């Protein structure tokens, strides 16, 4: 087999990537309260404790609300930006899209601090809502990227054909473009949902007293007693992320297959 | 249809307006506010709207800022070097060895860890490297060591290690994309013209992959500079980086003008470095494929 | 430009363009197009890429705004009429088959607002599919079709709406050679069957010659010549048109005199000859001087020892074969005609094509040959 050395290296690299994550389930089911070897035996106590934890449930509820709202908002805004970027040319297009994509390379500390300063200055009370504002901003570039791929794999003449066959611009969009980019929309929403669910810094600074999952986890990391529960929670979060991304990838591929384009593989 | 007509341009502007207005309000205005604040005076718990350069003077004169900025830059440089060097062979493997129908799966495998909770991943390194962590307790139970190795945690090395792990996919993907774009017949031409496999790599593959490598460098370097979580968790708060300093000025010390000046200065330094880096490597970016 | 005869066969005009201008920024894409396409005609817009032919087609379809000027379809002004309200339908270069729909859903796409019942619509779809030879394909997924099948679906989808005009944007360019030739014949048959006006855009001169009743040759946003295929081929209006359509030999010539019947010229290799008036074109912009042209198949080579000219009008020159390019059914010969270097000392070999007949030998390079031609096969650009 060609590239045997490279393959071995790549596998080692994957082990390095996954090593920390593989520890999660090991210690989530470990009976010992300290995260250390040797293991002390099997238990599901931590999952039970996690379930009974009211603060955690509150954080989860907040996180789900935030993730869902930001995913919907960011994807809607992303559709507009991607449509403008793939279909129209206008003065200042590069600058406009640059600003929209900027949060992708901006350190989150800058984004969150500057937004916080403004929110405080105009007297907005920090809450779940302010986190949604921030998360929509940082999720938007992901949605734009995915939707741009979805739109640009479409033949422009499909839309014209629909108009030629009697549909208006709006109904052509609804009957042809929307069904064809639907897999992209679902995949963008899932990705934004995942990004928002995991996001810590903006949630940490913009949530006020409202906990989200990451800020709850952060607050608990100081207490060695809570660590096993966090490991259990982490296990579930990792599983949830993998499932969500699996679904997103499935829809992305279906979208590619449907438009008959060549699969170039992968996110981003 | 290269040049748009006026009507189409107007329609394009209307369509881009909602996300653009959102980005202006949520990012553009806040960044400008920070910029404005950095020239204002700090009153107790308020901001005095009076122009001053005092904040910048304070930032540049502050030895702590210099230490932290240099630390942030060197950590980011080390992380970037480590990630890009480690990532290149993987990207090369993905592009040249993995059969096309398996590529999506490999990319999926590589990106999954990136999408799982950043906070938990960072914390897991603390668990792995900690005083009673996985490595120490594992080695102890195997009888390799009696005393835990204390040098593993709470130092720059462990921060670099953690960040290099966290940003791995960021480095792999751009390099992979650049390698994928290389016309395979160019490599055959290289061999055909008498170069060895290694020399073909050096003279053809690597120069053509450089745009991807440069992108990887910037994509890793810039966010790492601004990382907040890792110094807080892995460094135990004892090795702050610039993000922690900005946060502390802004909130704990409640000196927003100084915090803003810090943020602006840090952004300027990063922007200048990035521009310098691109200028030094611009010959690679001229490659058109 | 040859003015199009207003109404020679009594058919009414279907598309009329009057002084249609179109700019993209500073780029002048259409420079005053005047054009009448008649009802039931198979009309082609032919030209190299960037000549404005697609822009003109898309202007007729309603995808490009009419800059200035007037476009009438069936007597109705099309300004401010959107594409979906025009009595035209289009077959796109990429076919634009909706990949998320079945073949039948694609063909029936335009019937959404049709008041007929679902059963009647389904019958119409079946009929349309049968017409293009895709009977029984209705339930197939559109993205699984071959190139030729996609093209047929695109045709059925457009024709089911019984448009007044069918617009075809390079419909055969994505097909391989065999398939393309087959579809050319099928399109001609289909057009005769439905009797709808077809407007075809193509860069392939052969395709235009094969299929069209009339052809407009376009260069740089202008119509250079509008004529039937034979006239276009035999009597191109300019060197540029001649060069674009088929192969033509060009030789510098001197004009000696002019009568009502023709222009007398002295052309190297041919000697003094009177070119009939109908073969004389005055549109020779940018060319150095008077030029005589002829098609490779317009002259015949015969062996020096062979028979003489067969017709009284034929004339004979001598020459030497410089190069032989064998094509199977034909052979191309480059012939250096005697006295061809008489003007400027440059010997320009001319290209002659001959059908290969069984039993006839292909002469070798260096062979002396007789070149048989008639004044009527020469054209003069002055």
CATH number, span C247-382: 2.40.50.140
Q: Is the pLDDT of residue A113 over 60?
A: yes
Chain B CB contacts of C65 under 8 Å are 5, 7
CATH number, span C13-234: 3.40.50.300
Dihedral, A63, A66, A72, A75 alpha carbons, nearest 10: -90
The residue among C54, C95, C163, C94 whose CA lies nearest residue A165 is C163
User: Could you tell me which residues of chain C have a Cβ less than 8 Å from any Cβ in chain B?
Assistant: 24-27, 65
Counted across chains A and C, CB pairs separated by less than 8 A come out at: 68
pLDDT on residue B222: 87
Please check whether residue A136 touches B, CB under 8 A. Answer: yes
CA atoms of B219 and B84, how far apart (whole Å):
10
Task: Print the domain residue range for A249.
Answer: 69-258
Chain A CB contacts of C112 under 8 Å are 166-167, 175
Q: What is the mean pLDDT of residues B249-278?
A: 87
- pLDDT-wise least confident of A218-232, C60-74, C90-104: A218-232
Q: Is the pLDDT of residue A138 over 60?
A: yes
CA atoms of A261 and A258, how far apart (whole Å):
8
Please check whether residue A129 touches B, CB under 8 A. Answer: no
Per-residue confidence band for A259, with pLDDT thresholds at 50, 70 and 90: low
pLDDT on residue C253: 87
Q: Is the pLDDT of residue A266 over 50?
A: no
Dihedral, B154, B156, B157, B161 alpha carbons, nearest 10: 90
pLDDT on residue B4: 47
- The answer to whether C28 and C39 have CB atoms below 8 angstroms apart is no
This prediction's pTM: 0.81
Per-residue confidence band for C287, with pLDDT thresholds at 50, 70 and 90: low
Q: Is the pLDDT of residue C246 over 90?
A: no
Q: Please write the tens of the pLDDT for every residue from A11-40.
A: 999 988 888 888 888 888 888 777 777 777
User: Searching chain B, which residue's CA lies closest to the CA of residue A5?
Assistant: B93
Of A19-33, A134-148, B128-142, highest mean pLDDT: A134-148
pLDDT on residue A44: 83
Sketch the domain layout of chain C as residue ranges.
13-234, 247-382
User: Searching chain C, which residue's CA lies closest to the CA of residue B6?
Assistant: C25
Per-residue confidence band for C309, with pLDDT thresholds at 50, 70 and 90: low
Chain B CB contacts of C27 under 8 Å are 2-3
Burial of A242 (0-12, 13-18, 19+ CB in 10 A): middle
Please check whether residue A106 touches B, CB under 8 A. Answer: yes
3-state DSSP of B199-242: HHHHHHHHHHHHHHHHHHHHHHHHHHHCCCHHHHHCCCCCCCCH
CB contact under 8 A, C24 and B3: yes
CA atoms of B120 and A27, how far apart (whole Å):
13
CB contact under 8 A, A160 and C88: no
Q: Which of A89, A155, A165 to mutate to test the interface with C (most CBs of C within 10 A)?
A: A165
The Cα angle at residue A154 between residues A139 and B179, in degrees rounded to 5: 70
CA atoms of C305 and C302, how far apart (whole Å):
8
Neighbours of chain C (3+ CB pairs under 8 A): A, B
pLDDT on residue A264: 45
Please check whether residue A87 touches C, CB under 8 A. Answer: no
Chain C CB contacts of B7 under 8 Å are 65
**CATH number of residue A192's parent domain:** 1.10.3720.10
Which tokens belong to C286? 């940018």
Please check whether residue A179 touches C, CB under 8 A. Answer: yes
Q: What is the mean pLDDT of residues B250-279?
A: 87
DSSP string over C297-327: GGSEEEETTS---SSTT-EEEEEEEEEEEE-
Return all residues near B100 (Cβ < 8 A) that are at least 6 apart: none
Chain C CB contacts of A87 under 8 Å are none
Residue A79 belongs to some domain of the structure: yes
- pLDDT-wise least confident of A40-44, A257-261, B116-120, C174-178: A257-261
Q: Is the pLDDT of residue A4 over 80?
A: no
Q: Please write the tens of the pLDDT for every residue from B78-111.
A: 999 999 999 999 999 988 888 888 888 888 888 8
Residue A243 belongs to some domain of the structure: yes
Chain centroid offset of residue C311 CA: 31
Arithmetic mean of pLDDT over chain C = 88
Residue A40 belongs to some domain of the structure: no
Residue A14 belongs to some domain of the structure: no
User: Searching chain B, which residue's CA lies closest to the CA of residue A197?
Assistant: B117
Q: Is the pLDDT of residue C74 over 50?
A: yes
* Closest CA of chain B from A78, distance in Å: 7
Q: Is the pLDDT of residue A256 over 70?
A: no
CB contact under 8 A, A260 and C63: no
* Closest CA of chain C from A97, distance in Å: 23
pLDDT on residue A267: 42
Residue A24 belongs to some domain of the structure: no
* Closest CA of chain B from C244, distance in Å: 24
Chain A CB contacts of B111 under 8 Å are 245, 266-268
Q: Is the pLDDT of residue A3 over 70?
A: no
Chain centroid offset of residue A94 CA: 25
Chain C CB contacts of B2 under 8 Å are 24-25, 27
Domains: count for chain A: 1
Please check whether residue B6 touches C, CB under 8 A. Answer: no
Which tokens belong to A185? 């929309």
Residue A46 belongs to some domain of the structure: no
CB contact under 8 A, C100 and A258: yes
- The answer to whether C380 and C265 have CB atoms below 8 angstroms apart is yes
Q: Which of C54, C82, C88, C109 to mutate to test the interface with A (most CBs of A within 10 A)?
A: C109
Residue A137 belongs to some domain of the structure: yes
Residue A153 belongs to some domain of the structure: yes
Which tokens belong to C171? 């419909």
Per-residue confidence band for B192, with pLDDT thresholds at 50, 70 and 90: confident
Arithmetic mean of pLDDT over chain A = 86
Burial of C289 (0-12, 13-18, 19+ CB in 10 A): exposed
DSSP string over C220-248: TTEEEEEE-HHHHHHS-SSHHHHHHSS--
CB contact under 8 A, A200 and B132: no
Q: Please write the tens of the pLDDT for every residue from B208-242.
A: 888 889 988 988 888 888 888 888 887 777 788 88
> Structural domains in chain B?
62-285 (1.10.3720.10)
- pLDDT-wise least confident of A174-183, C249-258, C319-328, C336-345: C336-345
CA atoms of A267 and B173, how far apart (whole Å):
9
Q: Is the pLDDT of residue C6 over 60?
A: no
CA atoms of B218 and B277, how far apart (whole Å):
9
CB contact under 8 A, B3 and C65: no
CB contact residues (below 8 A), chain A span 161-190, against chain B: none
pLDDT on residue C4: 47
CB contact under 8 A, B2 and C24: yes
Burial of B274 (0-12, 13-18, 19+ CB in 10 A): middle
pLDDT on residue B1: 39
Report the first-to-last Cα separation within chain C, whole angstroms. 15
């Amino acid at each position: 087999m060609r590239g045997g050395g490279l393959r071995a290296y790549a596998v080692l690299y994957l082990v390095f990537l996954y090593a920390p994550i593989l520890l999660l389930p090991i210690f989530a089911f470990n009976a010992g309260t300290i995260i250390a070897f040797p293991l002390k035996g099997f238990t599901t106590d931590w999952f039970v404790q996690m379930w009974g934890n009211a603060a955690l449930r509150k954080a989860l509820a907040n996180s789900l609300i935030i993730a869902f709202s930001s995913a919907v908002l960011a994807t809607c805004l992303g559709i507009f930006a991607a449509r403008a970027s793939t279909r129209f040319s206008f003065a200042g297009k590069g600058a406009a899209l640059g600003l929209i994509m900027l949060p992708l390379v901006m350190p989150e500390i800058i984004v969150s601090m500057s937004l916080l300063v403004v929110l405080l200055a105009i007297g907005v009370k920090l809450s779940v809502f302010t986190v949604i504002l921030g998360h929509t901003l940082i999720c938007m570039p992901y949605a734009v990227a995915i939707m741009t791929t979805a739109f640009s794999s479409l033949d422009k003449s499909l839309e014209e054909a629909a108009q030629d066959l009697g549909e208006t611009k709006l109904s052509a969009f609804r009957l042809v473009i929307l069904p064809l980019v639907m897999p992209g929309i679902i995949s963008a929403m899932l990705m934004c949902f995942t990004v928002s669910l995991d996001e810590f810094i903006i949630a940490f600074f913009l949530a006020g007293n409202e906990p989200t999952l990451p800020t709850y986890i952060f607050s608990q990391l100081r207490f060695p007693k809570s660590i096993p529960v966090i490991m259990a929670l982490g296990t579930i979060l990792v599983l949830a992320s993998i499932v969500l991304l699996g679904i997103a990838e499935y829809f992305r591929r279906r979208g590619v297959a449907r438009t008959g384009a060549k699969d170039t593989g992968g996110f981003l | 249809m290269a040049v748009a007509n006026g009507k189409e341009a107007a329609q394009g502007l209307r369509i881009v307006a909602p996300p653009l207005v959102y980005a202006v309000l949520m990012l553009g205005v806040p960044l400008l506010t920070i910029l404005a604040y950095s020239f204002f005076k700090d009153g107790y718990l308020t901001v005095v709207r009076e122009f001053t350069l005092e904040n910048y003077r304070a930032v540049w004169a502050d030895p702590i800022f210099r230490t932290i900025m240099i630390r942030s830059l060197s950590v980011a440089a080390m992380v970037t070097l480590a990630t890009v060097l480690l990532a290149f062979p993987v990207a090369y493997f993905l592009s040249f060895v993995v059969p096309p129908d398996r590529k999506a799966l490999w990319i999926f495998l590589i990106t999954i860890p990136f999408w799982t909770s950043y906070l938990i991943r960072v914390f897991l390194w603390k668990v792995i490297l900690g005083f009673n962590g996985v490595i120490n307790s594992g080695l102890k139970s195997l009888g390799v060591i009696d005393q835990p190795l204390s040098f593993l945690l709470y130092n720059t090395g462990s921060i670099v290690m953690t960040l290099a792990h966290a940003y791995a996919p960021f480095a792999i993907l751009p390099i992979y994309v650049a390698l994928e774009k290389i016309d395979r017949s160019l490599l055959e031409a290289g061999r055909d013209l008498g170069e060895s496999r290694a020399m073909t790599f050096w003279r053809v593959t690597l120069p053509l992959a450089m745009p991807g490598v440069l992108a990887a460098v910037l994509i890793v370097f810039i966010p790492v500079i601004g990382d907040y979580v890792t110094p807080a968790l892995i460094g135990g708060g004892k090795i702050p980086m610039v993000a922690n300093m900005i946060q502390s000025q802004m909130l704990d010390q409640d000196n927003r003008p100084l915090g803003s000046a810090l943020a602006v200065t840090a952004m300027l330094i990063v922007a200048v470095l990035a521009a310098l880096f691109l200028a030094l490597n611009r010959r690679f970016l001229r490659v058109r494929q | 430009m040859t003015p199009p005869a207003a109404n020679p066969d009594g058919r009414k005009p279907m598309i009329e363009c009057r002084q249609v201008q179109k700019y993209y920024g500073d780029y002048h894409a259409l420079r005053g197009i005047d054009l009448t396409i008649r009802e039931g005609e198979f009309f082609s817009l032919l030209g190299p890429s960037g000549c404005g032919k697609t822009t003109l087609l898309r202007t007729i379809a309603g995808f490009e705004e009419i800059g200035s000027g007037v476009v009438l379809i069936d007597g109705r002004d099309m300004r401010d009429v959107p594409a979906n309200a025009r009595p035209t339908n289009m077959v796109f270069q990429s076919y634009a088959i909706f990949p998320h729909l079945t073949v039948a859903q694609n063909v029936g796409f335009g019937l959404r607002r049709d008041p007929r019942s679902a059963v009647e619509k389904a019958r119409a779809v079946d009929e349309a599919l049968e017409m293009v030879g895709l009977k029984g394909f209705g339930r197939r997924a559109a993205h699984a079709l071959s190139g030729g099948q996609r093209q047929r679906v695109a045709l059925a989808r457009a024709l089911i709406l019984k448009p007044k005009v069918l617009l075809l944007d390079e419909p055969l360019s994505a097909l391989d050679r065999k398939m393309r030739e087959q579809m050319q014949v099928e399109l001609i048959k289909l057009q005769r069957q439905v009797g709808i006006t077809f407007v075809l855009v193509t860069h392939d001169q052969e395709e235009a010659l094969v299929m069209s009743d009339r052809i407009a040759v376009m260069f740089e946003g202008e119509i250079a010549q509008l004529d039937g295929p034979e006239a276009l081929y035999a009597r191109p209006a300019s060197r540029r048109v001649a060069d674009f359509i088929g192969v033509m030999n060009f030789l510098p010539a001197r004009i000696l005199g002019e009568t009502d019947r023709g222009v007398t010229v002295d052309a190297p290799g041919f000697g003094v000859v009177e070119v009939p008036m109908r073969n004389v074109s005055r549109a020779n912009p940018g060319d150095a001087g008077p030029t005589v042209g002829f098609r490779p198949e317009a002259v015949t080579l015969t062996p020096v020892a062979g028979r003489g000219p067969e017709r009284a009008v034929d004339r004979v020159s001598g020459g030497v074969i410089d190069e032989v390019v064998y094509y199977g059914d034909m052979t191309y010969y480059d012939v250096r005609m005697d006295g061809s270097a008489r003007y400027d000392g440059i010997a320009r070999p001319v290209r002659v094509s001959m059908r290969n007949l069984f039993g006839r030998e292909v002469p070798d390079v260096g062979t002396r040959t007789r070149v048989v031609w008639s004044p009527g096969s020469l054209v003069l650009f002055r």
